[in-house]
Chains A and B, each alone.
Chain A
């Protein structure tokens, strides 16, 4: 049955992905209540606690699907929130990716300490629609800014980070031949730079990073496998242009390891548009191509993400 839908054009797969995203609640009721509570609290606190003023609008980027500040798929050298070196910023996010045969829900939060250290927590729920199963995973992240400022330093901002991943549902990882079906740790080094007025007066942002990982499909299918059970270096890159102070468009690419013999794992890419109405919220919409996942080929669809900056 798979082959009939394979001919779907990018356009229709994006539409299908969107309809899947909106098929049920965009955010699970629990997450929705949590986010609303935090946003209401933040708004109530506004008069006494300003949102961080340490950066210009859109400079913290958005939240990637493992909870770190970056693009949608890849972590960047920027840290979550508008904190300057004198304050702490907190943010929450919720994202949903809908592709042909799967759906991924992610929610979590991040703290930015003095624009030096970012601590993040993310909870992923991966829905295998055909199998009627789900895989849940928790990701604890830390990122340290090693050098520079995205905009003001002469050289790019450079950060290094770690993502510790713990699978809650291990049965599928075990079944597909993962070497470790419980937990794994990714390490990454990333450099990002925003060039003011670089393209006909428009701001250009680029980011490039390398990740050492054993994770199969983010870790949802365990870590390491029968084909390869050691760390490999994967390249991640992003390019974006700010159309005005509030809107950025761009593309991302994320190389993936291929550790499991039962099915090929392919590189990911996306094209996104991010909207920053103010320093309290951003919303990002993307068309994603996740390639083959666990034997289901050409997994394409839509990505929608919301990040709220609390203080």
Chain B
């Protein structure tokens, strides 16, 4: 009787151990990969390299049409801007890119960009995403990654 009991309890202990190990492994695996899979999914949702290139082209076009925003880009080399913005969007959406441009703070300092200017530019980007057929949830996920940069863009 006692033998059976101790046998049962040892099986129980082993089972508990096995479950604990499995859960720990699963957690490690998930946390290890979560960032990567989630990030890559946004990159893919944006249409990868080509999708981002189209977004950036159209964004540059929209900016050039905007009387309020275009002046901020008067001294900007459009080709360099296209390249760096593509890298940045690729990078923050989890794509296989390195952002090699200047920091947000450096590239916007001295420009006195107001909240309203910032917001008009966000609206331009949203328009571009709408025109390119980027689904609303994907737009929000991209905006979420971009939002923390605001403090390094306005009133500098």
Residues of A within 8 A of B (CB): 52-56, 84-87, 115, 151-152, 195-197, 200-203, 244-245
Among A53, A55, A151, the one with the most B-chain Cβ atoms within 10 Å of its Cβ is: A53
Instruction: Report yes or no: B136 in contact with A52, Cβ–Cβ below 8 A.
Output: no
Instruction: Report yes or no: A86 in contact with B114, Cβ–Cβ below 8 A.
Output: yes
Instruction: Report yes or no: B123 in contact with A56, Cβ–Cβ below 8 A.
Output: yes
Task: List residues of chain A with CB within 8 A of the CB of B29.
Answer: none
Task: List residues of chain B with CB within 8 A of the CB of A197.
Answer: 137, 140-141, 143-144
Instruction: State A53–B115 Cα separation when bound (angstroms).
Output: 8
Supply 15 A–B pairs (Cβ within 8 Å), ascending by A: A53-B123, A54-B119, A55-B119, A56-B123, A56-B126, A85-B115, A195-B144, A196-B143, A197-B137, A201-B135, A201-B138, A202-B136, A202-B140, A245-B126, A245-B136
Distance to closest chain B CB from A248 (angstroms): 13
> Out of A84, A196, A201, A202, which one reaches B115, CB within 8 Å?
A84
Instruction: Report yes or no: A203 in contact with B119, Cβ–Cβ below 8 A.
Output: no
Instruction: Report yes or no: A53 in contact with B147, Cβ–Cβ below 8 A.
Output: no
Judge whether B80 is part of the interface by a CB distance below 8 angstroms: no
Judge whether B131 is part of the interface by a CB distance below 8 angstroms: no
Instruction: State A55–B150 Cα separation when bound (angstroms).
Output: 13
Q: A54-B119, A151-B147 are in contact. Are A201 and B140 (CB under 8 A)?
A: yes
Residues of B within 8 A of A (CB): 114-116, 119-120, 122-123, 126, 135-138, 140-141, 143-144, 147-148, 150-151
Instruction: State A212–B126 Cα separation when bound (angstroms).
Output: 41
Nearest neighbor of A203 in chain B, beta-carbon distance: B140
Task: List residues of chain A with CB within 8 A of the CB of B119.
Answer: 53-56, 84
Q: 5 other contacts beyond A196-B144, A202-B140, A203-B140, with CB at 8 A cut-off?
A: A56-B122, A86-B116, A115-B115, A152-B148, A196-B140
Instruction: Report yes or no: A53 in contact with B140, Cβ–Cβ below 8 A.
Output: no
Instruction: State A150–B76 Cα separation when bound (angstroms).
Output: 32
> Out of A86, A115, A201, A244, which one reaches B141, CB within 8 Å?
A201
Task: List residues of chain A with CB within 8 A of the CB of B136.
Answer: 201-202, 244-245
Task: List residues of chain A with CB within 8 A of the CB of B147.
Answer: 151-152, 196
Instruction: Report yes or no: B123 in contact with A152, Cβ–Cβ below 8 A.
Output: no
Closest 9 CB pairs of A and B: A201-B137, A197-B140, A84-B115, A196-B144, A53-B116, A197-B141, A197-B144, A84-B116, A54-B115
Task: List residues of chain B with CB within 8 A of the CB of A54.
Answer: 115-116, 119
Instruction: State A245–B125 Cα separation when bound (angstroms).
Output: 13
Distance to closest chain A CB from B72 (angstroms): 14
Distance to closest chain A CB from B43 (angstroms): 14
Q: A54-B116, A84-B114, A84-B116 are in contact. Are A152 and B138 (CB under 8 A)?
A: no
Nearest neighbor of B141 in chain A, beta-carbon distance: A197
Instruction: Report yes or no: B116 in contact with A52, Cβ–Cβ below 8 A.
Output: yes
Instruction: State A2–B84 Cα separation when bound (angstroms).
Output: 70
Among B114, B120, B138, the one with the most A-chain Cβ atoms within 10 Å of its Cβ is: B114
Nearest neighbor of A87 in chain B, beta-carbon distance: B116
Task: List residues of chain A with CB within 8 A of the CB of B137.
Answer: 197, 200-202
Distance to closest chain A CB from B116 (angstroms): 4
Instruction: State A201–B136 Cα separation when bound (angstroms).
Output: 8
Instruction: State A196–B141 Cα separation when bound (angstroms).
Output: 7
Task: List residues of chain A with CB within 8 A of the CB of B143.
Answer: 196-197
Task: List residues of chain B with CB within 8 A of the CB of A152.
Answer: 147-148, 150-151
Instruction: State A197–B135 Cα separation when bound (angstroms).
Output: 12
Distance to closest chain B CB from A139 (angstroms): 30
Instruction: State A140–B35 Cα separation when bound (angstroms).
Output: 49
Task: List residues of chain A with CB within 8 A of the CB of B115.
Answer: 53-54, 84-86, 115
Task: List residues of chain B with CB within 8 A of the CB of A87.
Answer: 116
Instruction: State A202–B147 Cα separation when bound (angstroms).
Output: 15
Instruction: State A245–B122 Cα separation when bound (angstroms).
Output: 13
Task: List residues of chain B with CB within 8 A of the CB of A84.
Answer: 114-116, 119
Nearest neighbor of B149 in chain A, beta-carbon distance: A152
Distance to closest chain A CB from B40 (angstroms): 15
Distance to closest chain B CB from A94 (angstroms): 27
Distance to closest chain A CB from B110 (angstroms): 18
